Structures are given as C-alpha cells and as structure tokens.
Amino acid sequence: MASLKAAKQALRVQLKQRLASLSDLDKMKQSKAVTRKVLSHGRYRAAQRVAVFLSMPDEIQTEDLISDIFQQGKTCFIPRYRPRSNHMDMVRLRSLEEIQQLPMTSWNIRQPEEGNGREEAMSTGGLDLVLVPGLGFDKEGHRLGRGKGYYDTFFERYMQKLSGKPYTIALAFQEQLCESIPVSEHDITIDEILSARNLEEMKH
C-alpha cells in the first residue's frame, strides 16, 4: 500500500511538471479540440443531467462546455468539495453567469457554499453523464487524481444509493495520457477518455 502511494505521488510530480511546461496557447487549442469532441459525442447529446468541473488553469477549460449545457437546456451540476474530508456533492448551477458570483475556495476554485438549499444531484434523480478531471489517465480508463479521493468516494456513494454509476468521460491534455496508472481496488475506472488526439495515437 505504501509503495502504491509512493508510485502515485511520483507520477503526480511528473505530470504536474509536464502540465507546467504547457503554454497557454497550447492549453487553449487542446481545450477547444476536446470541447468539440464532447459536444458531438452521443452520450453528451443524449444526456439531460450533466456534471462538469469548473476548471483550474492546468485542466481542460470547461467554460464553453458549461455554456453549451445551458444553451441546450440541459441541467448542469458542479462539484462542491467539503474541506478537510474526501466528501464531494454535485450541486446544481443555475446559470453560466452565476459562476462569477460563487465564493472562491482556498484552492482557487469557485464553488457553491454549503447549506444554501441547492439541488443535489444524487437525491433528485442522479446524473446521466459526469465529465471528470484528473492529473493522469491511461487507456484502461484508470485515473490519477490529486490525492484527495473526492471522485472515487462520490462514485462509491452514488453506486450504493442509485445502484449503478453514471457514464463518465475524462477530459485530458495529451500530456496527461500515461502508459499505465498505478491503482488500488477503490479507484473507479473511467468509461472513456477524450483528449485532443485519440488514445490510439498516444506516443509510446
């Protein structure tokens, strides 16, 4: 277990270095390419209840996706992380404009405050699609997160409550695609990974 933790930590350091070397222009180009893939994806088109993350600078930028979710009349959910825990809820975002009014967390992510009566996805019918962030991914669908376990524990709770998990698509820069990710039995596998290039074109 300790060696798994060390392997994950070493890979996180490596991936953060790779991401740090990406130019803003490159991140923007890749984000646009991934956004196009999501918008034309059958799972996205069919989904009515979509969860998406508010992107940090080193993640695929999701603002255009969020904008489209509202344009298409879908219901948008975003993560609300509980600090000093691994608990995350997916809560409803009411409009694209609302993002700017959300308070900023210590990680520089905007998120809704606790206890303001927001609709919570799991108790109002679940989700059709979850667009997932992460630091690294491999073609088996294994994901390396930032080490807090928010998504893994969310999906665990979801499966217990709603018997089955929503379809998951990870959004990745090419630099986040790895040969293999060290995983434990608690790590949830992602159904599909979209990057600017196809996984088959991954450089070995």
Asked whether residue 9 is marked as a ligand-binding residue, the answer is yes
Residue 135, annotated as binding a ligand? no
Q: What's the token pair of residue 152?
A: 């893994």
74 labeled binding residue = no
Q: Centre a 10 Å sphere on the Cβ of residue 21 and count the other Cβ atoms it contains.
A: 8
Residue 44 assigned ligand-binding role: no
Judge whether 149 is annotated as a binding position. yes
Q: What are phi and psi of 172, to 5 degrees?
A: -135, 145
81 appears as a binding residue in the annotation: no
Grouping H, G, I as helix, E, B as strand and the rest as coil, residue 109 is: coil
d(CA 37, CA 40): 5
Annotated binding-site residue? 145: yes
Determine if residue 11 is labeled as part of a ligand binding site.
yes
Annotated binding-site residue? 146: yes
**Annotated binding residue 126:** no
Residue 82 assigned ligand-binding role: no
Amino acid in the structure at residue 51: A
- For residues 165 and 156, is the Cβ–Cβ distance under 8 A? no
- 192, containing H or E segment: strand 192-195
170 labeled part of a ligand binding site: no
Q: Is 150 annotated as a binding residue?
A: yes
Residue ranges at the known binding site: 8-12, 54, 59, 143-151
Binding residues for ATP: 8-12, 143-151
Known binding residues for substrate: 54, 59
